[in-house]
Every structure is written in C-alpha cells, then in structure tokens.
Copies of this chain bind each other. A is one copy, B any other.
Amino acid sequence: MTERQCGTRNICVCLEFLTAAHKAQIQQTAERLGFVVHFFDLTQKEEAKSCLQNCEVFYGHTEELVRSASAELKWFCCSFAGVEPYCKDPAIFANPDCLLSNTNCYGVTIAEHVMMLLLMLLRNMPSYEWMIQNRIWFNHLPSHMACSNEITTFYGSEITLLGTGDIGDHVAQRLRAIGASHIIGINRSGKADNNLYDEVFPISRLDEVLPKTKILIMSLPSTPETYNIMNRKRLKLLPPDAYLINVGRGNAIVQQELIEVMNDGHLTGVALDVVTPEPLPKDDPLWSVDRLLLTPHVAGNMAKGYTCDLNVSMFCEDLKNYATGCPLKQLVERQKGY
C-alpha cells in the first residue's frame, strides 16, 4: 500500500469484487489526476476506517464506513444503486456538503433476472421442477395440474412496465428484441425520452391500463407515491390469467391482499424478488402461496464480468468529472434521495 502523506489527495476504495485489472484501472485513472488510491477488501474494515480519517474520496459502501469518515471527505461514490441509508440521516456525513453518487449499473443483471422469472412462469417451470424432484418424467403435465400444457411465449406478447427507469428500459429493450409485440410504460410523467415503449401512460391512469395487461412488470423505487400502489382493487383489475413480477421494492404491493387474491385463484403466476419485510419471517404465509415464485432479493446481484466492469468504469468516469470540477454524472441529491 502507498504510504499516505501530508498534502496528498487520498482515495479510499473498500470493495469486495475488484479484480487486479479493476485495481489497475482505478490506479491509473487516479494517478493521472493526482490522487493516491488505498485499496481494502471487506475483511479490512478497520484499516479502511483509519484511512478514511484523511481521505477526500470514498468508493465503496456500508453506513459504518461512511460514518467513520472525517470531515475531509468530499465525495462518497456508493457502489450500490440504492442510497436510501445515506439520505435518511444527514448526520451520517461529518462534512455536511459531502457529495453523494450512486452506481446505476444493475439494469442488465436485473433485466436478465426478470426474463428468467418471466420465462419460468410462462413455461410452467415450477411444475416441471416438482415432477423432477419426485422423479416423475411426463412430457405433458397431468391434466389435474394447473394450466396443463398451456405454456405461453414471449413472442407476440404484450407487456406493461410499471416503472420506466434504468431497469424498465433494460427489460423493455430485451423483451422487444426477442419478440414482444406491444410494450406499455407507466411512470410519473406519462412520457419517455426514448422509443422503447409503444405507449406511455402517467401513473394516474394506471387503473385504465391494468385490465388490458397480461404481463405486469414492476420496478418502482420506494417513494410515498409508490407505497402500497398495487392493492386488492388494482390486483383485481388485472385479468385473472395475468402474470405479475416485482423486482422494485416490496412495499409497492399490499402483500396480504396479494396473498388473498392469489389464494382465491386470481392471477396465473407471480414472481417476487422483493417482499415485506426482508428477510421474510419463517412463518410468513407468503412462503406457501401456490403459483408464486420467490427469489431472495437477488435480481441485482452483480454478474461476474459485466456489472463489476461497469461499476468501476462509472466510478472512473466520475473521478475525472470530480477532479476537473465538472458535475458528477451519477450525483444523488441527498435531500431528495435520488
């Protein structure tokens, strides 16, 4: 490790996923701009805390480390997309003017998770998995099993995306590329600044769109407007044979009401990567709902290669902006939370 010296501009990097190539990339970018970089992994938190006593920039995560930094910290680049913990309590930063940025590199991996979940629902994969676990080999489902043989395809499908941010855009792009015929976006403004959607509606017209929605994909952030947005009434506005996927935040769905409508036979398949609360308690009724596919909030887990590379590149790009006095591309307004 480079010895920290008085007068040097220090960067503390404390991350779990860096390869030698990533470190070299950060090192070279930093050196060219006159910084000295100090690398730590998550087993070296105490060393990182000590380094954060005289660092100008921190690239990493965890509240504990941010709270430990001195007032010298001028910019914290969070390696996650979600920065709620760093916006809730302004006192987390010793320097009240510390800049905060996030790393929105999760669109690809979340979109691939959505495609996997959707294909598993459309193709009845949970039924086949049940058969395989029980060493039963039919190539047509026994007729007493739900939706026997009525599998559905992406090809020609109509999709509604509730939330058209980075995740919604990546999902729309992929579903279009493999054959979706009509994609509706729903967001705050009712407008999109790209041509990924056939139609875009404001969230105020959600109740109009739900009855014609066969596949609803939710990727909403957690805000007062999105809290409990899918309640019993709206869930029942979806056709009985609709599919629903949520990879945004668990509190966008009134979970008890979802359980009740599904237990009444409404909706063909639902996949949730996010629930309330997390972790889900052992005795929660959600674990045992039929036609429900759960994953433990893993849609955004980093993919080897791509996501990590992009995370590092986004930091390096903003390091250049920071060093040259340009606005940070990934800047988060700490008061607003996004």
Residues of chain A whose beta carbon lies under 8 Å from any beta carbon of chain B: 108-109, 112-113, 115-116, 119-120, 122-123, 125, 128-129, 131-132, 135-140, 149-156, 174, 177-179, 278-280, 282, 287, 294-298, 301-307
Contact = CB atoms under 8 A, between A and B. Distances in A.
SS class, residues of chain A in contact with chain B? loop
B116 A279 contact: no
A119 B128 CA distance: 16
A305 to B, nearest CB: 6
A142 B55 CA distance: 33
A169 B234 CA distance: 41
A155 B119 contact: no
Report how many copies the assembly holds. Answer: 2
A42 to B, nearest CB: 11
B120 A153 contact: no
Contacts of A280: 135, 137
Contact of A115 (B115, B129, B298, B303): B115
B108 A116 contact: no
A291 to B, nearest CB: 14
A86 B298 CA distance: 48
Nearest to A300: B139
Contacts of A305: 152-153, 156
B109 A116 contact: no
Contact of A174 (B135, B136, B178, B303): B178
B129 A129 contact: yes
A154 to B, nearest CB: 6
Interface centre among A156, A278, A296 (most CB of B within 10 A): A296
Contact of A119 (B112, B151, B177, B304): B112
9 contacts: A112-B154, A115-B178, A120-B120, A138-B279, A139-B278, A139-B301, A151-B303, A155-B303, A177-B177
